[in-house]
Amino acid sequence: MSDYTKILLEENEIPTQWYNVVPDLPEPPPPQLHPGTLQPATAEDFAALFPRALIEQEMSVERYIDIPGEVLDVYRLWRPSPLFRARRLEKLLDTPAKIFYKYEGVSPAGSHKPNTAVPQVFYNAQEGITKLTTETGAGQWGSSLAFACAQFGLECEIWQVAASYRAKPYRRTMMEIWGGKVHPSPSEVTEYGRSLLAKDPDHPGSLGIAISEAVGEAVASENTRYALGSVLNHVLLHQTVIGEEALLQLAKVGETPDVLVGCTGGGSNFGGLAFPFLREKLAGRMNPVIRCVEPTACPTLTKGQFRYDFGDTAGLTPLMKMHTLGHSFIPEPIHAGGLRYHGMAPLVSHVYQLGLVEAIAIPQTECFAGAVQFARCEGIVPAPEPTHAIAAAIREALACRESGEEKTILTALCGHGHLDLASYDQYLRGEMVDLELSDEAIAAAMAEVPVLA
């Protein structure tokens, strides 16, 4: 086993419980607030949006939550996912570091998103819900939810950020193959969408706007609920299968990470990989540096403020305390659509605020340069989002070349880029630019964030 390229697990080694980091943290995270009363949101406040089981998970302080058998059955279509040792990349970089990456692109939708789409649909189906609405940016989440709805026989209606809808028609096709119904957002089918289109018929949309449309539709329709692909506690909970498997896989080859890097948009891929390792760190069983990587064009953690803000643009969601650039902030159209979100998962924000994890921002040309190096060595063409994780892993490996340290680096390649090749085309033709965000742009959006006592 000493010359392995990948570490596989058997189906019976899929974790049977999700891990909730909340009870292990030195301080509990601040509660979500009702946007009207500004009091801590109750289970009832969420009832129009989510099924009871997911609301319980959202608020849970249990350390472990059992994964239902029906969910495990679907997970088996692609899980456990492989953990690779990037030996060819190490050789190219001439580094003494070991680079491991957990690859979630083996799922049907091509990313980590089905890890939470499947249980979300399952719990809705259990409670008699017949239709789910959601938003999607690059399309990874929308296709994951459509796939999951096909597994449990639910309808699925998706608002896709208009810029992505137009730039990536094939993601829409993928959603339709699995039975999903897709609208560009802003859309003509909601009042909020129509109001935005009236001002700008070519509105590029944003995740925040698409969330407003999907939430509005769910609240207005019977037997319909909303599903969110990131940010919320229960989403990060479901994603911990990534980190739990990675822990088991590293243990099989006798490794513990010195550095863990993951890309952060809403925070679910990062939380899913990092939280089980954070548990081990807090328990003193290992001591990895844990680092978030975000795009310089949407630097939520490194340039945003830790404030109560809305999850969506219209201000329909509960207020969440998180790192935010302001809910009215519309990020530049960088290629990593999944990282174009104004906020950060409250749990990721909280552990960052507590100093338990670090954060850096990397410009997209450096990310794509790293991704092309990676693809030529390792074969897999990464999605634009995890190019950030790869670029950070390469930075770390090159630092090890300088210092001579034999660090073990762990990252997550959270999806493949098969439906994002236009971004590589732009990069290869030398037409990709780095979008630096001005302090003025951030200040303008922050001015609209509610000021709470």
Contact positions with its own copies (CB under 8 A) in 157-216: 169-170, 173-174, 176-179
Residues in the chain, total: 453
Comparing CB distances to its own copies, the nearer of 33 and 89 is: 89
Nearest approach, Cβ of residue 372 and its own copies (Å) = 6
251 in contact with its own copies (CB under 8 A): no
Please identify, among the stretches 147-155, 181-189, 286-294, 301-309, the one whose residues bind its own copies according to the rule CB under 8 A.
Answer: 147-155
Residue pair 436/297 in contact (Cβ under 8 Å)? The answer is: yes
State how far the alpha carbon of 314 is from the alpha carbons of 3, 95, 133, 222, 293, in Å: 53, 48, 17, 22, 27
Half-sphere exposure of 17 (CA within 13 A, CB side): 9
255 in contact with its own copies (CB under 8 A): no
425 in contact with its own copies (CB under 8 A): yes
Q: What angle do CA 257, 262, 263 make, to 5 degrees?
A: 170
Nearest approach, Cβ of residue 251 and its own copies (Å) = 17
The number of beta carbons lying within 10 Å of the beta carbon of residue 16 is: 14
Comparing CB distances to its own copies, the nearer of 225 and 416 is: 416
Q: Is 343 helix (H, G, I), strand (E, B) or coil?
A: strand
Nearest approach, Cβ of residue 73 and its own copies (Å) = 8
Among 47, 48, 354, 421, binds its own copies (CB under 8 A): 421
19 in contact with its own copies (CB under 8 A): no
Q: Which residues contact 44 (CB under 8 A, 6 or more apart)?
A: none
Nearest approach, Cβ of residue 101 and its own copies (Å) = 12
Residue pair 144/107 in contact (Cβ under 8 Å)? The answer is: yes
Comparing CB distances to its own copies, the nearer of 84 and 123 is: 84
Q: For residue 164, with 0-12 CB atoms within 10 Å meaning exposed, 13-18 middle and 19 or more buried, which class applies?
A: buried
Comparing CB distances to its own copies, the nearer of 189 and 372 is: 372
Nearest approach, Cβ of residue 342 and its own copies (Å) = 30
Task: Report the distance separating Cα 394 and Cα 301, nearest Å.
Answer: 21
State the greatest distance between any 2 C-alpha atoms of the chain, in Å, as a whole number. Answer: 62
Task: Could you list the beta-strand ranges (E) of 74-165.
Answer: 83-85, 98-103, 131-136, 155-161
Nearest approach, Cβ of residue 442 and its own copies (Å) = 33
Binding residue count for its own copies, defined by CB under 8 A = 44
Q: Is 49 helix (H, G, I), strand (E, B) or coil?
A: coil
Helices (H), 20-132: 52-59, 69-75, 87-93, 114-126
Token output for 273? 């990989």
Comparing CB distances to its own copies, the nearer of 178 and 275 is: 178
Instruction: Please report where in the chains the tokens 């010195």 appear, as a residue.
Output: 258
Among 218, 347, 397, 419, binds its own copies (CB under 8 A): 419
Q: Which residues contact 215 (CB under 8 A, 6 or more apart)?
A: 49, 133, 226, 312, 316, 317
Q: Is 364 helix (H, G, I), strand (E, B) or coil?
A: helix
Comparing CB distances to its own copies, the nearer of 122 and 192 is: 122
Comparing CB distances to its own copies, the nearer of 150 and 289 is: 150
State how far the alpha carbon of 110 is from the alpha carbons of 105, 106, 151, 155, 263, in Å: 4, 6, 16, 21, 16
73 in contact with its own copies (CB under 8 A): yes
Token output for 226? 């909303």
68 in contact with its own copies (CB under 8 A): no
Please identify, among the stretches 256-264, 389-397, 412-420, 436-444, the one whose residues bind its own copies according to the rule CB under 8 A.
Answer: 412-420
447 in contact with its own copies (CB under 8 A): no
Please identify, among the stretches 101-109, 120-128, 230-238, 288-296, the one whose residues bind its own copies according to the rule CB under 8 A.
Answer: 101-109
Nearest approach, Cβ of residue 176 and its own copies (Å) = 5
Please identify, among the stretches 69-77, 157-165, 252-260, 433-441, the one whose residues bind its own copies according to the rule CB under 8 A.
Answer: 69-77
Comparing CB distances to its own copies, the nearer of 2 and 438 is: 2
Instruction: Count Cβ neighbours within 10 Å for each residue of 83-94 and write b for 16 or more, e otherwise.
Output: bbbbeebbebbe
Task: Report the distance separating Cα 350 and Cα 355, nearest Å.
Answer: 9
Contact positions with its own copies (CB under 8 A) in 81-100: 84, 88
Contact positions with its own copies (CB under 8 A) in 352-411: 372, 375-381
77 in contact with its own copies (CB under 8 A): yes
248 in contact with its own copies (CB under 8 A): no
Please identify, among the stretches 146-154, 252-260, 302-310, 434-442, the one whose residues bind its own copies according to the rule CB under 8 A.
Answer: 146-154
Nearest approach, Cβ of residue 272 and its own copies (Å) = 19
Q: Please report, as ranges, the residues that interact with its own copies according to CB under 8 A.
A: 4-6, 8, 10-11, 73, 76-78, 84, 88, 106-110, 147, 150-151, 169-170, 173-174, 176-179, 372, 375-381, 416, 418-419, 421-422, 424-425, 428
